[in-house]
Amino acid sequence: MKNKAPSLPGARVEVRLAGSGGQGLVLAGLVLAEAVGIYEGREVAMVQSYGPEARGGASKAEVIISDAPIDYPLCTSVDVLVALSQEAADAYCWDLKPGALILVDKDLVAHPPSSLAVALPFTAIARDKLKKVMVANVLALAAISELTGLVGRRSLEKALIARAPAGTEELNKRAIALGAKLAREYKTRQTGEALPELGSEDL
Amino acid sequence: MHKGRAKLLQGNEAIALGALAAGCNFFAGYPITPASEITEFMSRELPIRGHPFLQMEDEIASLGACIGASLAGRKAMTATSGPGFSLMQENLGYACITEVPVVVVDVMRAGPSTGMPTHSSQGDVQQARWGTHGDHPAIVLCPATVLECFELTVTAFNHAERFRTPVILLADEMTAHTREKVALPEPGEIEVIDRRRPTVPPDWYVPYKTDGSLIPRLADLGEGYRYHVTGLVHDERGFPTERLEEVQAFSTRLFAKISRNFPYLEQVKAFRIEDAEILVIAYGCTARAARAAVRIGRERGLKIGLLQILSIWPFPRRSVEAALEGKRAVLVPELNMGQVRREVLRVNNGRTQIVSLTKMDGSMIAPDEILARLRELK
């Protein structure tokens, strides 16, 4: 597995997933960390940060990915920022690495921190196509996989199915497919290439 | 590291797994952020193994239950955070004077009082040492990584059983909530120490009589060994005494059983200190930032090193003293107003310059902040 994983863009890649409590960002961080660490054999550390509230309030997860042992487990210079709320986008855009990928929810983040931010409608698609707002986090993970190649889609799927409650396998697989599709459509818009034919797994 | 068995584990889960690996078969607790995952894990895992888990009405009762269970032969643990730890201080003293092995986990959060429940702090360092009243020895261990959470919990149980004393595992929110990929050692690879039990028949058992080890043998209550347990200063038979020679002998032994084992208890990790001109002394989550700072600083040609303290009490005087030798300055970063710096100053005794880097806003000290402070010392 380890040999198959492509080399990382840097010695230490930092991913921050931020939004508000209840959007499943800590779970998303956990799934990403397990996908990369267990299924792709890299070193990984993940920390979570949340407020005292049961719901709402700021919530974030930070995942450090490396091929060497990780000393400091927090982000210091972020490579990938996912923001699912305006507050998160505003609060966590100050320590980005130049050229960092900023991925925001198109409808929940009206003012992305950069004109280069990638805005995709994770929550709206999760609600309209899958009737479950709660899988917006899964769509975002699939988009990270598609846009950065940091983690393989299969690894994500395995990690997610191992973590998520029984009975949600189909839903999660569809969410991953949809998230990847959103990201592919975005890439196609950027490059002007024709959209590849969708396989049955995409829906 | 055994790659094949690697799992993604949280510090709190590693503490619970460490307890199980050390033979913990009793847990009583009251959930509190950021230690709740330990209680949650034990509530799930202990009953499966046929052992009791009790959710108590509060932290006072939690430690009380653990002391009782330990007297009955169980290896007991409780886990809490600052506010609960404050409540446990009375029973901690009781466990001290009655010499009952028990492990108390305190996952530090920002305080005082309710403070900031989900934010990290290292504010309980001196409370862990001096929280309970009356002069007493204390063994306190301080993990910084998920693997250390596991290893030091095993060590905590071993110390508790070996020395018949409460042992505190002093973690912090950041360490407890960080998840890392770790491969834990297999049961056969772990040293597990159990208390010495009496070998004499019940009629001959003198509960607090000691041999050369200064540590009395502990009989399981309910096995026919009848003895008296009291928080009053007691004689060899466990009954209250105020006879000067007995009281003094008792207090002396309580300290000596720990102090004669200082070398055995000292645990530090040195990172690139051989040719270092400036030393960082850190513990818990701050040690991780310090390690990163040393790594980055070395890449930039700074002659810096790190001494990470794992056994924070008794304070590892010998290791710190040796590490201070010949250094131009020593930086002590910590998430309080300088609780360990105070100890370093004491050991330093004027040898070199000791500088503090403190933070109390609930966030971590970042490697950059440590580096910036180190550069000022150049």
User: Is there a domain that residue B22 lies in?
Assistant: yes
B-chain residues near A50 (CB < 8 A): 118
Chain B residues bordering chain A (beta-carbon distance below 8 Å): 3, 6-8, 33, 116-118, 174, 177-181, 288-289, 291-292, 295, 364, 366-368
For A35, half-sphere exposure in the C-beta direction (CA atoms, 13 angstrom radius) is 25
B-chain residues near A44 (CB < 8 A): 8, 180-181
User: Is there a domain that residue B209 lies in?
Assistant: no
pLDDT value at position B3?
Answer: 47
- CA A187-A157-A192 angle, to 5 degrees, is 10
User: Is there a domain that residue B201 lies in?
Assistant: no
Nearest chain B residue to A163, by CA: B8
Domain end position, chosen among B130, B158, B189: B189
pLDDT value at position B5?
Answer: 79
Q: Which amino acid is residue A53, in one-letter code?
A: E
Point out which residues pair with A65 in neighbouring strands. Answer: A13, A44
CB contact under 8 A, A38 and B181: yes
The answer to whether residue A202 scores a pLDDT higher than 70 is no
State whether B30 and B140 are in the same domain.
Answer: yes
User: Which positions 20-59 of A are in contact with B (Cβ < 8 Å)?
Assistant: 30, 33-34, 37-38, 41, 43-52
State whether B9 and B124 are in the same domain.
Answer: yes
Domain A12-192 has CATH 2.40.50.100: no
CB contact under 8 A, A50 and B7: no
pLDDT value at position A10?
Answer: 82
A106 CA to centre of own chain: 14
Tokens 């596991």 belong to which residue? B150
Residue B333, Cβ density class (10 Å: 0-12 exposed, 13-18 middle, ≥19 buried): buried
Domain end position, chosen among B131, B161, B189: B189
pLDDT value at position B378?
Answer: 65
pLDDT value at position A197?
Answer: 53
CB contact under 8 A, B181 and A48: no
| Distance between B141 CA and the closest CA of chain A, angstroms | 20
pLDDT value at position B41?
Answer: 98
For chain A, domain boundaries: 12-192
- pLDDT, tens digit, for every residue of B120-177? 999 999 999 999 999 999 999 999 999 999 999 999 999 999 999 999 999 999 999 9
CB contact under 8 A, B6 and A50: no
User: Is there a domain that residue B152 lies in?
Assistant: yes
Nearest chain A residue to B174, by CA: A47
- pLDDT, tens digit, for every residue of B52-109? 999 999 999 999 999 999 999 999 999 999 999 999 999 999 999 999 999 999 999 9
- pLDDT, tens digit, for every residue of B317-371? 999 999 999 999 999 999 999 999 999 999 999 999 999 999 999 999 999 999 9
pLDDT value at position A57?
Answer: 82
State whether B19 and B155 are in the same domain.
Answer: yes
CB contact under 8 A, B368 and A51: no
The answer to whether residue B35 scores a pLDDT higher than 60 is yes
- The number of folded domains in chain B is 2
pLDDT value at position A1?
Answer: 44
Rounded-to-integer distance, Cα B162 and Cα B354, Å:
35
Helix (H, G, I), strand (E, B) or coil at A48: strand
First to last CA, chain B: 37
Task: Output the CA–CA distances (angstroms, integers) from residue A112 to A17, A24, A88, in the order listed.
Answer: 15, 21, 10
Mean local confidence (pLDDT), B285-289: 97
Residues B109, B119 contacting (CB under 8 angstroms)? yes
> Model confidence at A54, in pLDDT bands (50, 70, 90)?
low
CB contact under 8 A, B118 and A52: yes
Q: Which of B57, B136, B56, B54 is nearest to B92 (CA)?
A: B136
DSSP state of B276: -
Query: Does the global pTM surpass 0.90?
Result: yes
> Model confidence at B4, in pLDDT bands (50, 70, 90)?
low
CB contact under 8 A, A71 and B292: yes
Residue ranges making up the domain that contains B43 = 3-189
Out of B117, B118, B181, closest to residue A37 by CB: B181
ipTM for the complex shown = 0.89
State whether B173 and B273 are in the same domain.
Answer: no
| Distance between A139 CA and the closest CA of chain B, angstroms | 22
pLDDT value at position A195?
Answer: 53
Phi, psi of B257 (to 5 degrees): -65, -25
Rounded-to-integer distance, Cα B118 and Cα B110, Å:
8
| Distance between A135 CA and the closest CA of chain B, angstroms | 22
Q: Is A158 on the interface with B (CB under 8 A)?
A: no
* Cβ pairs A/B, distance under 8 A: 59
Out of A41, A50, A70, closest to residue B118 by CB: A50
> Model confidence at A49, in pLDDT bands (50, 70, 90)?
confident
State whether B30 and B119 are in the same domain.
Answer: yes
User: Is there a domain that residue B238 lies in?
Assistant: no
Domain end position, chosen among B189, B216, B241: B189
B-chain residues near A47 (CB < 8 A): 174, 177-179
A-chain residues near B289 (CB < 8 A): 71-72
Point out which residues pair with A101 in neighbouring strands. Answer: A80
User: Is there a domain that residue B196 lies in?
Assistant: no
pLDDT value at position A5?
Answer: 65
- pLDDT, tens digit, for every residue of B179-234? 999 999 998 999 999 999 999 999 999 999 998 889 999 999 999 999 999 999 99
A-chain residues near B120 (CB < 8 A): none
The answer to whether residue A200 scores a pLDDT higher than 60 is no
User: Is there a domain that residue B355 lies in?
Assistant: yes
Q: What is the CATH number of the domain that holds B372?
A: 3.40.50.920
Tokens representing A142 are 């699939």
CB contact under 8 A, A37 and B6: yes
Mean of pLDDT over chain B: 96
| Distance between B15 CA and the closest CA of chain A, angstroms | 17
| Distance between A196 CA and the closest CA of chain B, angstroms | 36
